[in-house]
Structure formats: structure tokens, C-alpha cells
Structure 1
Amino acid sequence: MPHILLTGFEPFNNEITNPAWEVVKLFKDKKILANHTVHIAQLPCEFGQSNTVLTTLLAQIQPEIVICVGQAGGRVDISLERIAINIDDARIPDNAGAQPIDQSIVPEGPAAYFSTLPIKAIVKNLRDNGIPASVSQTAGTYVCNHVFYGLMHYANKSSQILRAGFVHIPYLPNQACAHPGAASMALEQMKKALNLVLETSITQVNDLKLGAGTTH
């Protein structure tokens, strides 16, 4: 039976919740399209340790599909990340107090990796189902990108993992109340979105050729 690994993060930066974990935990032991078993895990919001935990899970579960989910407060939609870059450049400390500046995630590793999810097909499917979505050209330089790069570095050396990538989601409404003007998305809509992300990742063999770039 095929296995999927779905991860979210613990809260960080003085937030009391993290929407990534709140939505991911709804998929505990869930079956996607009848026969794909979902395994979930919460990652620490810490440089280094997050990838240590992730690689241990990957070795134990040996999933075919891996999707890591992170909070991107201020974003207005479900963001499918295209590129993971080999740099840590932290604007704020992580939950362990570390704040790496201009440090490689994997010394001598490639400058970047591309997601192997069908990101444009996912965006189209989400939009067709009434959920705002877009392709994002950057996952930042904080712990989300750190994990995204670590995942893709592992996946590129694995014959088991067929598809892997990273998804950013907005604040939950109760979080947005503490950030006036910030966008938010209801948990139930995030759950619907993540289910569609998983289904499309399973069924879409080749990604679609759709314009999703930016001019700046």
C-alpha cells in the first residue's frame, strides 16, 4: 500500500498555534483515493533539528509522496512552492534561539532544487474548486525553506520518493485578528485544499503547461 508523509510545524514567533499543524493533524491515518495511507508528523521550527526529524521519518516510513506544509502569515492563498534554495538567512531566531545568516543548508549541495509536485495542475484544481491558489517562486530563507531544501536533497537521492514539495498556507482567522489587515483562511477550506493537493499529486502524471510566473 502506498504511503504519504504529510508534515506541519509547531507554532513559532510568539504565535500560539500554527495552521500548518492544525490542518495536517486532520489527516491522521486518512486514506486518500482509497489506498494511499497518510502519515503525519509535527516538525520543530528549528534549523538543523527539523531536517534531522524529517530524514528520520523518511527513512522509517519510506513514503512515495511527501508534502511539507508551513505557515506564511500575510499570504492570501494556498501557495505551491516551486524552488528550494540552499541558504539559511534568518530574520528572526528559530524556536531554539538559532539565527543563521548566509549559511548553506547542505555544504557543497546544489544551489537549488525544484519541487516534483505537479504544482500548476494543483493550482488549477484548487481554483476550479473555489480555493484561491498560486505558484510561489520563493519559500523564503527561514525554516520552511530549510525543510523544503532538506526534503528535496533527500528525495533526489532516493528511488522511493516519487513526488515531494512544499505548500504554504495563510493564517487562520483567529490569528489574523492579531494581525490587522492580514489575510486568513478557514480551517475547513484549508482541509479541502490539502485533500485536493494530495489527490492531484497522486493522479496527475505530468504537470500542466500554464503561465504562473511573475514579472518582478
Structure 2
Amino acid sequence: MAERVLLTGFEPFDGAAHNPSLAAARDAAARLQSQGVAAVAVELPCAFTDAGPALRAALARHEPTAVVATGLAGGTDRVRVERIAVNLQDARIPDNAGDRPVDRPVREGGPAALFATLPVKRAVHRIRSAGVPAALSLSAGSFVCNHVMYTLLDAPAPARAAGFVHVPWSLEHRPSPSEPALPAEQLARAVAEAALAALEGGPDLDVPGGALH
């Protein structure tokens, strides 16, 4: 079976007109295609009830070898490769459907947490080597991004490697001049490099990557 990459990004949320994660996923898919990699980008709704079914439908349709889901992490100045998703939904703001769960599991009775099968340290290394600031992250939050990452890793027929990447605002669409941001081209480059790390196979890099707090 030919290797295929699925990239996902979110629709705008919280009153914004743009979500850089969707643009990064689409541009990364085009970048991968230019390198001969079969890649597709899919838009997910920013809603707890709808995001999971949309993701599962995309997985069933495309049967990807590797999946990199993406979302926006406003306020950060670098790309964050997430290591873990937790079985928790606790929303500071309502989603696009008006849902605001408090301490609700993603899946009742599911594991408390699931680790990315994407080689996260190798992904960070590839992204940094491509000239884009990047870091490992131990929390995908408790909003729809975490919901999607957990759903992805909990899928009954998972891809060989799957994970989640948070991107900052793009310079071209940041909500204010003081908002940390990176050029949109760098965001796309980072997502593409994470996908290539997922396709490589083999163990992750044996290098320190933990945090003290």
C-alpha cells in the first residue's frame, strides 16, 4: 500500500476570521505533494461534538499511513509538538457550537492519557533543522485540540504514526502587532517536516526532551 499522509487543521473559532492551522495544513500538503508524497489536508470543525466524527470520517476515507493534526496555540512564539493527549474536556471558552464542557471525558471509560505515536523528538529536530523554532510540549490543553488528538490516538484502526502539532499565529494574520507569530511559510514547513518524521519509521531520537516544570 502506498504511503499517504493526512493533515488536519481547524476552522476559525472564538470570533477570529482566520485559523493558521488550516492554512498550514493545506500549504504543507501542497509542499509534500511537490516532493512526491501523497498528502491531503482536511478542515475540522472547532466543536467537541462534531470534530471527532469528522476526523474519523477522514481516517476511513483516506486510510493514511501518517497523520499530523494541527491547531492554533495563540500566545506562543514557536511550533509545539505535543507528546500526550488526556481524556479530559474542560473548556475555558465555548466551542463553535456553543458547547462548554467541564471535566467531561473525551471517551467515557477510555485511557486517562494517550501518547503520540509520531516520533516527537525527531519531529522537533527536523523542524528546527528546517529553520523553524520548535519545542516539545506536554499539554495539548483541554479544548478541541486535545479532543482531536485523543480521538486520533484512540482510533480503532490507527495510522502507523500520528500526532498533533500546535502552531502560533502567522505573521500575515495575527490579531495584533504584539501577538507572537511566525511567517505562514514557516508554519507550513514545520507541519510538512513533522509529517516526514512520521513517515520515516523506526524509534524516536534518544535525546533528552523533558521539562523541569
Could you state the TM-score of these two structures normalised by the residue count of structure 1? 0.92
Q: Which residue of 1 aligns with 2:182?
A: 185
Partner of 1:200: 197
The CA distance in 1 between the partners of 2:98 and 2:57, in whole Å, is 23
Secondary structure of 2:169's partner?
coil
Q: Distance in 2 between matches of 1:208 and 1:30?
A: 23
- 1:58 equivalent in structure 2: 59
Q: Which moved more, 1:119-128 or 1:73-82?
A: 119-128
Q: Are the equivalent residues in 2 in contact too, given 1:33–1:199 (CA < 8 A)?
A: no
CA distance in 1, matches of 2:87, 2:170: 29
C-alpha distance in structure 2 between counterparts of 1:46 and 1:87, whole Å = 15
Tell me how far apart the structure 1 counterparts of residues 61 and 25 of structure 2 sit (CA, whole Å): 19
Query: What residue identity is the alignment partner of 2:3?
Result: P
Give the whole-Å Cα distance in 1 for the aligned partners of 2:154 and 2:128. 30
Q: How many pairs were matched up?
A: 211
Q: How does 1:1-216 map to 2 (within 5 A)?
A: 1-26=2-27, 27-28=29-30, 30-31=32-33, 33-34=35-36, 36-154=37-155, 157-158=156-157, 161-178=159-176, 181-216=178-213
SS at match of 2:164: strand
Contact 2:78 / 2:135 at 8 angstroms: preserved in 1? yes
Q: Which runs of 5+ in 1 are unaligned?
A: none
Q: Over the residues paired in the alignment, what is the CA RMSD in angstroms?
A: 1.6
Q: Secondary structure at the match of 1:176?
A: coil
Checking the alignment, whether the CA contact within 8 Å between 1:117 and 1:163 is kept in structure 2 is yes
- Unaligned regions of 5+ residues in structure 2, if any? none
Structure 2 vs 1, CA of residues 22 and 110 (structure 1 numbering), >3 Å: closer, same or farther?
A: same
CA contact (8 A) 2:31 2:192 kept: no
- Paired with 2:145 and 2:3, the residues of 1 have a C-alpha distance of 26
Q: Percent identity?
A: 36
Question: Which range moves more in the overlay, 109-118 or 58-67?
Answer: 58-67
Q: CA deviation at 1:204?
A: 4.5
Structure 1 stretch 56-65 or stretch 6-15: which is displaced more? 56-65
Q: Deviation of residue 163 (structure 1)?
A: 0.5
Rounded Cα–Cα distance in structure 2 between residues aligned with 1:181 and 1:129: 25
Equivalent AA in structure 1 for residue 101 of structure 2:
P
